Structure 1
């Protein structure tokens, strides 16, 4: 093996790349020799130690703050995300959240099965955002949350804008405009998932007030709940909950109930003007409700139509057309009749099916909307034409059938009011002479005749504990011997008291009570003059008992009651004809006597052309109450007038304005009806007395005996010691 030659140097690889040429220093510059020295650094100026200290502290604090803020943001984001995720996991399916009412609804039908009133929380049934009219969906989004389909439950731009407006208008940042999205509003409607518990809340109104409370903490919880719904539901499900839960005035909850309440149509059939009106109610449902102020509601709807055009949901021409053709109420909603009647049904019906119902109830009533309109027209006419301006006198009217079925009712001068004091059912007032028919009914039941006579003359009697009492006639005159018919016809007080004492006050008390006057009746002799108190409804029912032949009557307004969607009634009529109080012939004779009151006595202003009428006037002590009670063969009606504070009426008696209101009411009630005779029984005409034989001088000297007096005078003389 040969060795490489020596002296050839180290073995190295061939150079892969050519060597770089060394730079030649410029001429005149001396090339450095040895190690190159680093250029000298410029000396830093010395920093003030005090400033350096503070700058260091500031830097350290800034870095610490930044780290803490970053950490806090991460922690808050985790907490917020966890909270949203947790709340979302607790939410039930959207279909279970559309009806959140704490109580049900009551829908009232008249005698022809037409709707005339709603009470409670109306809910027309669940509808989805896809099922309602697209105009309604667009109107709600355009009005309440124009970026609804683009945000995550909160709208930062909307919130910032609302805060800016509130501050500019001098309010707090959270007062006034809220910038809430539909999702946030839905969270509030759901009360953040907290359900009403009667054991925890004193009332539903207190629960609702707490749900509507505004605070920073509450807003934060609403925001979390809104984002949780966005996580759990899609946009249409949230809008569905909102459209079913939102209150839209008139007792209507949700779009379907509101569409039915105001327009008598389903929410799917709404046109742009009607949809804009419903969407406009969301800001102030009570004050903007078209049943309260139609013009104001239409103005708000015009604004909504403009917003819909601005956001491309309508063309300018379409918006202008519907602004010029605003929505109007349906005939059913516009009538607004029977408010007092509906209130009475709610107050007298079973609580679990009326005031406290959790179900949707249908009540078929006895209401006749034609008769109700007749009452309202009559009252308005008389008060406009006959009552002095500025008078605070009130009125009440009830019309019913002979079996006690109430057909119409007005409980005050505001004829179409509801939710107010009802003078027809709640006011208990002195009846005055309107009570006298029950005195005469007692006498007729005991065998007296309308032709029997009684002496009208000055009369006094001693009352234990009160001394002497001397009743007087309204005219302050006396008419001597009169028939019972004449005494009733002229509403004479003294004969009424004498007759009551003769037949027995206890009997009069029993007859009046059996006829339906449930209020406490006076115990003294003034019972005959109407010193007792009763409601107009009681008195009208008692007069119905006279018309129907002498049987008691229970005034009623409910025919039957059932749950919505079920045909089988749960409850039937709660009133009607009861037990007999007086004989049928006695009732017929009393009808005839009361017919004379209208034809020849104090009630002539109530007469109706071509139709028989029977009735009785009544004026209480000091003219604090004025009544006219009467009937035809078809209907019974009662009218009361007076002041709520018992101020005496000026120039008003039962034969005056009450009789005129009765006349105007019944004239309208009987329009188009054939006249029928009253069930009156006239007494047999007395045979003319034979000519007396000439009396001898001996007979002329004998004192007059009581043989010329009839049985009534004899009893009275025996009881009271004189005529």
Structure 2
């Protein structure tokens, strides 16, 4: 049997796993991408390095815009923006300040290339544990790059640019130069940039004399300047300084004995500069710069309208007259709209909320300004007579403060004593939409409803808007726009100057004159008597339901002033009414504000109500003008939550003769026929026309009342 010869075979290599091949290829791709990314990073870093400013350029360019605000007399009201102290070279910066900063902010500062991988890993770990970013892992170099070149916006794109800048800065500057830039430019709170400004701001001396405890306080501010500011929260600042000292011990910068000796609790802080009501004005005026000018870098000199003496008088009036537990606000406008005084509250330090420009409150009867303006524009005259009697409009029945009805009275008397029934009837006659349009025409920027109760001031308004409306009446019907900035300069060059616009006419001059007549009567004989200052004054009171708000707005000698008082939570204030504390604050302020101004008579002299010849002055005092007894929906209710008792019937008229019509009329008043022809109103319904309203009737002089509306002496008693 033949033997089988074995066949020779070529050895074969083991076959590779497909997964292993994929891993190898993926690794190769990732390695190639990594090399490309590294190359791109190197290129980006060195391109950025070539574009960075020099050390001297960075040293001479402060961050932020300085703004000096001047009063109308040129004095400095306030300096805002960043504050920089003396630049300290690295060798003059106290070692304790350098060590404290490096220990608490970036203990590996001397070893990393600008970005700290260990810090980044720690930040990611904390993010994973807490579910949100609480640490950024930023180095001192990154913080410097962000403060100088970037914003604090927390987005990855910004963070990536921050890394590139930090790496580039480390390639261009030494560690000492970076630390010098950082300590002289970083923000420490209180408007202070750099350690010297911070040292002067918080301790009253330069940074060259910083002690270990003081350096620990300043170093601890970088994390959260507003939270740890010594002037805002001394306890928090001292606690944070203790953390800094402990960190310095851990890094070996100081010994435990030195940390124990440097007790932050023993530090004496420089008292914070006193803030006053001027800041209410600057907080309102300065944001307008964004609309007025484009300059964002050069230091600005801003000249404003504020009169320091008037501002002091306004502040004193609000503090003195506002009832305990309430807030007060005041705005005063010159005849061109210049804001001469603005008080947004009793104390700016405790509350920066500006109640003069931000708060929206019900104006009560002061809103009747727009009701009567609409009625006068429709053809009514102050001498026209109307019937004060119960009225129901769309299910709403307004009540007078006295809870009585006075029968036939003139429009002047109705306005002087703020009769709610008459305001409702006039609003119905001209239409509530017309009244709302009149309010918007005169500058009311908040929403105005057209429910019948709107005539009693149930829509919310701002004090500055109401003051503007009264100023426009004082300006003979020409629109007045409040402004606070007159001109702005940058580097000595004027870049803005305010121009007053007098071209917008809101109502005819005779309408404004008649309205001034009514307003003057309200002060001389009606609810605003407390606002008298010994010279002609025109104004109107306002009080809302349950005495939650008190208003007085008026003008004299070219100055228009509005006052509001109440609680921020809108709770009732016992005894508050527009004719009391707000009117007294108005008078206290205006006596000082117009003392050096000439006395000005209004173009239409006062024609007092027919009954004003009575000798008993006590009978002339009006009641708190309009506890309206309606809620925001127009539903009637009284202070205690129940509807007022039914009003007793009106007394019979006094038949005594009244003065002749020509004696009661103002000698400066234009003839109505001439006005109708001049304004194209020949076909307008006359006063004796039924089209003017079925409720109105002409009353012979023998039926005119010679006494105030009944019930005002009784209603004048303080609310219990």
Give the drift of 1:130.
Answer: 2.4
Determine which of 555, 563, 570 is the counterpart of 2:495. Answer: 570
Asked if residue 139 in structure 1 is aligned to residue 97 in structure 2, the reply is yes
**Partner SS state of residue 288, structure 1:** coil
- Hey, what's the Cα distance between the residues in 2 that align with 1:401 and 1:294? 43
TM-aligned CA distance change 1:224 to 1:431, over 3 Å: closer
Aligned match of 2:584: 663
Aligned match of 1:232: 172
TM-aligned CA distance change 1:176 to 1:472, over 3 Å: closer
- Hey, what's the Cα distance between the residues in 2 that align with 1:598 and 1:306? 69
Aligned match of 2:473: 546
Aligned match of 1:649: 572
TM-score (norm: length of structure 2) = 0.60
Give the drift of 1:285.
Answer: 0.9
Aligned match of 1:474: 401
Once structures 1 and 2 are overlaid, which stretch shifts more, 499-508 or 542-551? 499-508
TM-aligned CA distance change 1:661 to 1:238, over 3 Å: farther
TM-aligned CA distance change 1:323 to 1:489, over 3 Å: same
TM-aligned CA distance change 1:360 to 1:677, over 3 Å: closer
Give the drift of 1:522.
Answer: 5.2
Asked if residue 602 in structure 1 is aligned to residue 527 in structure 2, the reply is yes
Matches within 5 A, 1:290-689: 290=230, 292-293=232-233, 326-328=268-270, 331=273, 334-335=274-275, 337-345=277-285, 348-351=288-291, 353=293, 357=296, 361-368=300-307, 371-372=310-311, 375=314, 379=318, 385=324, 387=326, 396-411=329-344, 415-416=348-349, 422-441=354-373, 450=382, 452-460=383-391, 467=394, 470-499=397-426, 512-519=439-446, 521=448, 528-563=455-490, 566-573=491-498, 577-582=502-507, 587=512, 590-591=515-516, 593-607=518-532, 613-620=537-544, 625-633=549-557, 635-641=559-565, 649=572, 651=574, 654-655=577-578, 659-661=580-582, 663-664=584-585, 667=588, 671=592, 674=595, 676=597, 679-681=600-602, 682-683=605-606
What's the CA shift string for 1:16-43, capped at 9, x where partnerless?
Answer: xxxxxxxxxxxxxxxxxxxxxxxxxxxx
Aligned match of 2:29: none
What's the CA shift string for 1:454-473, capped at 9, x where partnerless?
Answer: 23421547xxxx74654432
8 Å contact from structure 2 (residues 521, 606) kept in 1? no
**Partner SS state of residue 559, structure 1:** strand
**Partner SS state of residue 629, structure 1:** strand
Matches within 5 A, 1:142-221: 142-145=100-103, 151-152=110-111, 182-183=140-141, 185-186=143-144, 189=147, 196=150, 207-208=153-154
- Hey, what's the Cα distance between the residues in 2 that align with 1:361 and 1:80? 45
8 Å contact from structure 2 (residues 83, 197) kept in 1? yes
What's the CA shift string for 1:219-243, capped at 9, x where partnerless?
Answer: xx99998786455323452134313
TM-aligned CA distance change 1:350 to 1:248, over 3 Å: same
Question: Where in structure 2 are there 5+ consecutive unaligned residues?
Answer: 1-33, 612-659, 666-671, 673-684, 698-720
Aligned match of 1:199: none
Aligned match of 1:114: 76
Asked if residue 130 in structure 1 is aligned to residue 76 in structure 2, the reply is no
8 Å contact from structure 1 (residues 128, 240) kept in 2? no
8 Å contact from structure 1 (residues 256, 267) kept in 2? yes
Matches within 5 A, 1:46-65: none
**Partner SS state of residue 630, structure 1:** strand
Give the drift of 1:556.
Answer: 1.3
TM-aligned CA distance change 1:402 to 1:87, over 3 Å: same
What's the CA shift string for 1:26-69, capped at 9, x where partnerless?
Answer: xxxxxxxxxxxxxxxxxxxxxxxxxxxxxxxxxxxxxxxxxxxx
8 Å contact from structure 1 (residues 626, 640) kept in 2? yes
- Hey, what's the Cα distance between the residues in 2 that align with 1:593 and 1:115? 39
- Hey, what's the Cα distance between the residues in 2 that align with 1:555 and 1:125? 34
What's the CA shift string for 1:238-266, capped at 9, x where partnerless?
Answer: 13431354222245554587689x48999
Q: Which protein is bigger by CA-based radius of gyration?
A: 1
Question: Where in structure 1 are there 5+ consecutive unaligned residues?
Answer: 1-75, 197-203, 388-393, 689-707
Aligned match of 1:5: none
**Partner SS state of residue 571, structure 1:** strand
What's the CA shift string for 1:165-195, capped at 9, x where partnerless?
Answer: xx9xxx99xx9999997556546656xxxx6
Give the drift of 1:538.
Answer: 1.0
8 Å contact from structure 2 (residues 100, 216) kept in 1? no
8 Å contact from structure 1 (residues 133, 268) kept in 2? no
What's the CA shift string for 1:512-553, capped at 9, x where partnerless?
Answer: 444333445555765643355432211111112233444320
TM-aligned CA distance change 1:584 to 1:241, over 3 Å: same
Give the drift of 1:633.
Answer: 3.0
- Hey, what's the Cα distance between the residues in 2 that align with 1:653 and 1:303? 52
**Partner SS state of residue 687, structure 2:** helix
What's the CA shift string for 1:327-374, capped at 9, x where partnerless?
Answer: 52574xx326444434433555545858x9566655433344555555
- Hey, what's the Cα distance between the residues in 1 that align with 2:400 and 2:413? 13
- Hey, what's the Cα distance between the residues in 2 that align with 1:532 and 1:222? 51
